[in-house]
Amino acid sequence: MSNSIAQIDSLKVGILGVGVMGEALLAGVITAGAPASNIAFVEKRPERSAEIVAKFGAQHRELEDVVRESDLLLLVVKPQDLGDLLDSFNGHLKKTALLVSFAAGKSTKFIEGRLDGEVSVIRVMPNTPLLIGKGMSVLSAGAHASSSQMELISKLLAASGDVWSVEENLQDAVTAMSGSGPAYFFAFIEAMVTSGQKLGLDEQTSTRLAIQTIVGAAGMLQESGKSATTLRENVTSPNGTTAAALKVFSEGGLTQLVDQAMTAARDRSVELG
């Protein structure tokens, strides 16, 4: 079977699932160069279908039609729904079709095992900042996916943020790091805002200070070329206010707590597989 696939602007693209992440991927496909007229999607809710058509100009089609005609099929469904979905369209795929799965925890082997033939599959772990073009998408190739197909999907996802690739046995760790990672920062900001209010700041001021602080810190990490350790040390004066706060984090076991949390996320990803 040939693993060659056309360039993005000439692809017939199908998207199965246009929730928040599916919509973001649809927008990214268009940004990457695919005309809306070449994109079809499947969605059960009529009002949601009408919204997507009006917003992007993509076509709402029946599942079998989308699967049969697509060169590139994006699977943007819940992990627990993936098996039944694959069973429902097995036998209708183009022989040269490329499937890209965004279902957390589900391996390429799981997908390949539910479909006839040597299907090209790529697994992706994205994260929600993809919605604003600042996502982190991590790719792994299945048994039959080619380097040119990996390059194509990397190019497509680069329209929505950064892209990296790893061996698939590391995807559960990736899920714990970047896939679930934004929620860790949101939780930390929630805690900072609450604490700021306890210290006398109003909610608006506390929220603004917390958000800009983490945005600025992230920007320094990205642009300075310095490690998080170096930047932390640079801002921590001996016996100063920052040192007092960091001492509390250290005594409270912050490093161990983060490790436990990420391990729990990794283990849950394994269970989903």
What pTM was estimated for this model as a whole?
0.89
At 273, is the pLDDT very low, low, confident or very high (cuts 50, 70, 90)? confident
268: Cβ contacts below 8 Å, ≥ 6 apart: 105
Per-residue pLDDT at 4 exceeds 70: no
Residue type, 88: S
Kindly report, residue by residue over 70-127, the tens digit of the pLDDT: 999 999 999 999 999 999 999 999 999 999 999 988 999 999 999 999 999 999 999 9
Instruction: Provide the CATH number for the domain formed by 8-171 in this structure.
Output: 3.40.50.720
Kindly report, residue by residue over 200-241, the tens digit of the pLDDT: 999 999 999 999 999 999 999 999 999 999 999 999 999 999
What is the structure's pLDDT at 187? 97
Looking at CATH, the fold of the domain delimited by 181-272 is given as: ProC C-terminal domain-like fold (1.10.3730)
Kindly report, residue by residue over 142-200, the tens digit of the pLDDT: 999 999 999 999 999 998 999 999 999 999 999 999 999 999 999 999 999 999 999 99
Distance CA 47, CA 51 (A): 6
Distance CA 216, CA 206 (A): 15
What is the structure's pLDDT at 177? 97
At 6, is the pLDDT very low, low, confident or very high (cuts 50, 70, 90)? low
Mean pLDDT rounded to a whole number for the chain:
94
Residue type, 176: A
Distance CA 21, CA 24 (A): 5
Strands 120-125 and 135-141 turn out to be antiparallel
What is the structure's pLDDT at 62? 94
The residue extents of the domains of the chain are 8-171, 181-272
Exposure string for 5-32, b = 16+ CB within 10 A, e = fewer: beebeebbbbbbbbeebbbbbbbbbbeb
